[in-house]
Structure 1
């Protein structure tokens, strides 16, 4: 596995795995692509590691194959800030068994979604607030609620959670100091949810910084805008020229991007 936060990431919305996923590729690229596809997220996919894991190919062959996989739309190297508002930059190798064109990768880069984030819960799934009310009745039988009562009280319970109360604390507070007999559990619970509502949590002084991403050349790692890296490769790694040297407007953009990255790195120390 790679260092925490680095390594392979699976691109979203891939087609289901089949035996012909990489049939359009040459044998070497197909073998390396199939190997990467089977690796879990977070696995190291650098040249040295892949060359050790696939003895049939040396480091130079692996590098060439990775460049070709990038050009075919299966691979992009993306430098991005870590989650939870941290400004540390990490490089991740996003892999898609479904080949994507440059426009798809550019949209993915701009979207800022993390493919490693959990998928949203399906629409029929019960909320945390609803589950806490169900657990209340199991913890304290005198407050057993029907499904209709849980649904009716879900909004009040959600407001407790929004104000920073953990589900376990919500259950304990509602179940504490009960009378010997509770004749109407639903009405009793509504009263407690209303009268014991905690105060609003203090607002944060500033929202956490959003995640930022910049693409890197799969071959040499130089950062650049997507339009400067067709197929995920700079001109030098594609064999079309001297790489991402500043030549005209595109070069100025890349240079500004690199300067921005360096400034961010200095402020995060």
Structure 2
């Protein structure tokens, strides 16, 4: 009879914690002490974002401030390509995880300012580091007399324009498009760009308020996306009608005629040629 080796284990030991067998996931968690990023379940388990958009948001949140996250830079880093990455960025922008605005530098160059939100609904100013305070100095005696309010048309004041009025009026078409005042001032230049390109205000309103998703969590982000992606092209320049020559006075008969400069009218020029 063969000897039994009682010291040998009856089956391989698994590093996974024991317990009742089941087909679901089993987590083996190790506490991170460095090089980690906190991601909310509202993003990791988002039911409306694609898997690519969720992964891209996690990657962006893990990057240091100032890192390049343009479509071209991300396409060089990942194999999905510019088209799929651009679509994923639009998803994140529509759901409030990303905010992209176009800004013109003093040099005239136009750049894209990108803000990543790990919690949708937070403003960009809240994520900025606190400003360094200057040393305290004795304040001069202030004039406590009330300052009169300047007139509405004083230079330097921001008077609500038609773009801001259009955005504020969107809630009349759908109550979900109720925007905060800061969002209205941020999006008003984009609406003005549509109006400058010949779009009628009614057409802009229809485009912004049509086929809204349900539920609509971040109306300002959705409107920013539509204003940027659906911007109509500039109107074609119509050919100008050539201006007629100015009137001149004939040197022989004093009659008026059109010409590029002083001289004789057609009849006097004809008579001169016939006489010759």
Normalising by the smaller structure, the TM-score range is 0.3 to 0.5
Higher RCO, Cα 8 Å, sep 6+: 1
Q: Give the structure with the larger helix fraction.
A: 1
Q: TM-score, normalised by structure 1?
A: 0.37
